[in-house]
Structure 1
């Protein structure tokens, strides 16, 4: 069956939206399909195992969705959408886009009824972003429909994996929302369209520049050496230095009065685009060149999913501090399969009255150069849904191993998951236990070396995603005094465990379990039981925060979950709120022995 790009994009948007609605807003009324069909005397054939009814009391509307695959840990696979027609007293097919808009309107009515007038006013923004995300996704799919090898190859390069996320966040209502990036800019700057571009350079008076580096060379020296490889005759006066910029951010900066004034005073020279070509990674604002030792992470004037993406000054400082801390605690020496991608240098230009000028650039070490770039993929790219008729990258990887080793695919899946756990999960929990350091280790921040097929090493990336326990504050500050200036990195353990639960389990581990189950490679229940046993065994050998964390995971009836639909509905820019707080909710814990009849989507919403 031929599927158009718009049909595929609409289905992907619907899958993410309905799953989010069932988790965060209304868990619905679930029944086995046979029982429901018999009760409703349905004439429409359904092949799914379950049906979930959603009643919209504010509009006197009732919907039902067919559930083709019901996941204990991840996202359900939704089939037909139906609406009850009271005039005809029967269920009829429902178009998906109007259904999503109707559900958003119901959220608006619920918010108004609860007296939440200020927050309810943002439903129009959600509708706008959802449609924009869907249209953007359709354009990406249209461009990549016949690009199966680079989308799903198990032997992909780092940048091919980064460019393969056609559907984006698996449980976000607007995963491809790119407000601020126009259609004509997408081919150059959207990773999904495989564009390449030169950076825009500014030559700036050193009196205005603030930089820091843990490396033997300063940030400005690293930048100059990099561009001189392609422009060997380039000269820069000693009293000035170069700052590279993402072209989108450069366009924004050139419209700012304080930048124009500095250019008129000859404090800043606009050199334009030059030097080597870079590709956007999955975050859009971090750029990569396989021949360069460093990646650059920029601010960009684009709202991506929930937030306007800006480098905050405290993040620049945190990047260098955490790179130094990781060296001092020597954790990666004890756990060589666990690796951190450092952000050990930064540079920016200072302007009076501007906390951040927009010139903030983070230098990130590039471990995926030349021959080291192949067989590396983020977990997000590994577990993402494939285009119709194709297989996910994880499915293809495990099938290839099973064929080469002539083994049962379930046994290979179990061994693959065990090796994944050993490099990606257990070390992260031990890091928190031993040093009070938790990581925002979600799918996109988590990169696996799969050069042999099996997970050989795990890489963590993100200078915005560190949580230091207040209980370890004194010890860590003695070890690295500069942490006294990074108070925003320290949190109470109750909050850390909420965030850590979501990022490590709900977002990362459960996505792998769900993908393996949905692809028919191994039963989810078997993996849940194995994880429970591993956690119980690990807990016995721990003595710090990790021990309490595992007990929380194993014993809590519900686990915290970041509610992206509610965050988007309330138009919360989490990067700009106190403690970077999104809206959180709580979902039944698969490790607590929930049976099939207890709806995983049951949720009690709360703002943490």
Structure 2
């Protein structure tokens, strides 16, 4: 029987939510399935070997979850879900949505018992977002389930892969939370529904404009020339500029008092929607057109996962100054299969006494124009859990390569991972080691060229994700004096390594290892072993903070982990929090566990 859109959506939501809870709150009690059945005199049929029991002490409730796949680095795949019924003294199947609501209630009661009344008060917001995210996901699935994309590496385009992220963040309790975007707006502006739309343009007096560019061409001219490609006879008044807006943001701006006053004075004019049709990338607020040389990144009045998505002034400046620095950096010439997508220009309207006006627009280089857009996919899309009765994009790639080359799946898988490591993980660590630049390289910010069936080129995207080491400040300032205006980009290495551990290793690298294991292409143990060997070899070459970073990955028992459930429960907006800091916790380090097993095996061999 085919599953409904709601059944698929609630299943995906439960998998992400429960794995967050197990990582961040309570790892539960693990019992072998056969032993559990005997102890509980249960006749349940299980396909998994393990059961996780969770005791909700504040509510006096007890749950049991079948584990279909146990991961060392990623999320566990959950099968049957049961709740203990004390009156009947037996276990009964429990609804997945009820389970999530009760887990949220348990968090609330725990926080209240601990005296955290302010933090506990946000549980209603979490309930709202979980339900909204689940319903949004169901809406997307309903819209596409009769036309599911069967993406292949040769034929799929950048935007098709961006639009394929139906389940969203693999370890987030509200992966499709889109507060502020109604259902009728989703049809046009949600990437999952493949909508296309024109941008809304404003004509603004030049004396209200602030702009900057690291290019020979200014931001206002880039925008004007972009529109003239579609409307060659278009003209604007003297001493004015054009500024494009996302239609959602434009509607918000038209309600603001400062904008209303400027429009009454005639210093701002609403020109309506014009020009080429764009479509949203997976971030929603960055828009793409294959015929345009530039993407545009806007503020939008929508809370996506954890945060209201707003372009802040320091991020505008960071994009330009980092673009300038990257042009002077010898590193990118040394690693031709590694690129950073630049945000070299920005433009906004300046209102007195307001830090941001809402008109902030970031101009991003479009590396994936028509003819260069085939086989380009984010890692998030490659490793996403497949729909029922389908295979993941990674699985399809490996199987196709094995068939085409007449080689074993294992051999092709090792080759795929090797090429991925070479263009992605190693250059990211070396960039930090050599220049003190760490990137927020999570799986959605990481884009691969897999047009050959293998990772050939890595692209990093996100002007919000630069971390510059304070120990390299003098060197970087001498290379790019403009960094003096973006001092907030410099961080202490302890904080950098906490975040770099999460984004690069836990979020990106481990998601790839998990996918290989869950798809039964290679065991996670084999890839953990390969990772440890590569880190040891890399460590010998490193001389800076990268060496310390790799040492911590190999020898510390715990790894830093961004606690998305607790961040959401405590209603933390990372973009406005001090140092843009989410809540972090610690998880067991599988790389250290590998070392410990090796060491124990050596000791054991000496005793015989």
Q: TM-score range by the shorter chain?
A: over 0.9
1:155 positional shift: 2.9
Per-residue Cα deviation, 1:203-246 (whole angstroms, up to 9, x for no partner): 00000001011111111111111111110100113300100000
Aligned residue runs from structure 1 range 151-550, under 5 A: 155-550=155-550
CA contact (8 A) 2:153 2:375 kept: no
Aligned residues: 597
SS at match of 1:84: strand
Looking at structure 2, the residues matched to 201 and 150 of structure 1 have their Cα atoms a distance apart, in angstroms, of 36
CA contact (8 A) 2:349 2:360 kept: yes
Q: Residue in 1 aligned with 2:560?
A: 560
Looking at structure 2, the residues matched to 55 and 279 of structure 1 have their Cα atoms a distance apart, in angstroms, of 46
SS at match of 2:62: strand
Q: Residue in 1 aligned with 2:605?
A: none
CA contact (8 A) 1:437 1:468 kept: yes
Q: Residue in 2 aligned with 1:606?
A: none
1:36 positional shift: 1.4
Q: Aligned pair 1:92/2:82, yes or no?
A: no
1:162 positional shift: 0.4
Taking a change above 3 Å as real, the CA distance of residues 12 and 363 of structure 1, as seen in their structure-2 partners, is same
Looking at structure 2, the residues matched to 489 and 147 of structure 1 have their Cα atoms a distance apart, in angstroms, of 44
Looking at structure 1, the residues matched to 498 and 146 of structure 2 have their Cα atoms a distance apart, in angstroms, of 41
Looking at structure 1, the residues matched to 153 and 7 of structure 2 have their Cα atoms a distance apart, in angstroms, of 24
CA contact (8 A) 1:154 1:394 kept: no
1:330 positional shift: 2.0
Looking at structure 2, the residues matched to 146 and 590 of structure 1 have their Cα atoms a distance apart, in angstroms, of 40
1:152 positional shift: 6.2
Looking at structure 2, the residues matched to 468 and 176 of structure 1 have their Cα atoms a distance apart, in angstroms, of 31
Q: Residue in 2 aligned with 1:145?
A: 145
Looking at structure 2, the residues matched to 154 and 136 of structure 1 have their Cα atoms a distance apart, in angstroms, of 30
Taking a change above 3 Å as real, the CA distance of residues 595 and 424 of structure 1, as seen in their structure-2 partners, is closer
CA contact (8 A) 1:49 1:68 kept: yes
Looking at structure 1, the residues matched to 356 and 317 of structure 2 have their Cα atoms a distance apart, in angstroms, of 13
CA contact (8 A) 1:588 1:594 kept: no
Q: Aligned pair 1:69/2:65, yes or no?
A: no
- Is there any run of 5+ residues in structure 1 with no aligned partner, and where? 598-608
Aligned residue runs from structure 1 range 16-55, under 5 A: 16-55=16-55
Which runs of structure 1 show a deviation greater than 4 angstroms over 4 or more consecutive aligned residues? 150-154, 594-597
SS at match of 2:586: strand
Most deviating of 27-36 and 580-589: 27-36
1:538 positional shift: 0.3
1:147 positional shift: 2.6
TM-score, reference length from structure 2: 0.97
Looking at structure 2, the residues matched to 152 and 566 of structure 1 have their Cα atoms a distance apart, in angstroms, of 37
Q: Residue in 2 aligned with 1:119?
A: 119
Taking a change above 3 Å as real, the CA distance of residues 173 and 154 of structure 1, as seen in their structure-2 partners, is farther
CA contact (8 A) 2:154 2:452 kept: no
CA contact (8 A) 1:202 1:244 kept: yes
CA contact (8 A) 2:382 2:393 kept: yes
Looking at structure 2, the residues matched to 151 and 253 of structure 1 have their Cα atoms a distance apart, in angstroms, of 38
CA contact (8 A) 2:554 2:595 kept: no
SS at match of 1:277: strand
SS at match of 1:368: coil
Q: Residue in 1 aligned with 2:603?
A: none
Per-residue Cα deviation, 1:463-498 (whole angstroms, up to 9, x for no partner): 000000000011111111111111110000000000
Aligned residue runs from structure 1 range 572-583, under 5 A: 572-583=572-583
Most deviating of 121-130 and 37-46: 37-46
SS at match of 1:170: coil
1:596 positional shift: 13
TM-score, reference length from structure 1: 0.97
1:555 positional shift: 0.5
Looking at structure 2, the residues matched to 582 and 89 of structure 1 have their Cα atoms a distance apart, in angstroms, of 42
Most deviating of 25-34 and 129-138: 25-34
